[in-house]
Amino acid sequence: DAGQYWLPLFHSSSVGSTNWSGLKDETLDNYIDTVNVTVDKEERKVLFQKIWDRLDELHPFVVLAVPNELYGVREDLVGAEDFYDGRLNYLGNIALKD
């Protein structure tokens, strides 16, 4: 369930442990608290969207990533034939043709 991730990452009660950004926001805390006790699927969808929107407003951190992905390959590479699937792929088994 997606609700299990919001409390440790962004709730004020988790500052100093798993809330590495140090974010403290009463509005966000209320959304997280409410979604974690809401059973109705449609209500939860609305609350999750409110959480995303609030996080977008607050920008608690910037995610930096360097994907391990190929966007094009040389014709003489072996092992990269199925890498055009839109997913991140392990590049350790790629080699030049003999």
Q: What is the average pLDDT value for the chain, to the nearest integer?
A: 86
Per-residue pLDDT band at 43 (split at 50, 70, 90)? very high
pLDDT in tens, 2-31: 778 889 999 999 999 999 899 999 999 999
Mean pLDDT, residues 39-54? 96
Domain ranges of the chain: 3-58, 66-98
Over its C-alpha atoms, the chain yields an Rg (Å, rounded) of: 20
Q: Is the pLDDT of residue 78 over 70?
A: yes
Total number of residues shown for the chain: 98
Question: Hey, how many other C-beta atoms are within 10 angstroms of the C-beta on 96?
Answer: 9
What is the value of pTM for the model shown? 0.64
Q: How far apart are CA 25 and CA 38, in angstroms?
A: 20
Residue 59 confidence (pLDDT): 92
Scan for tokens 């014709």, then name that residue.
75
Contact (Cβ atoms closer than 8 angstroms) between residue 1 and residue 38: no
CB atoms within 10 A of CB 54: 18
- Residue 17 is predicted with a pLDDT of 93
Q: Please, is 32 exposed, middle or buried when counting C-beta atoms within 10 Å of its C-beta (0-12, 13-18, 19+)? A: buried
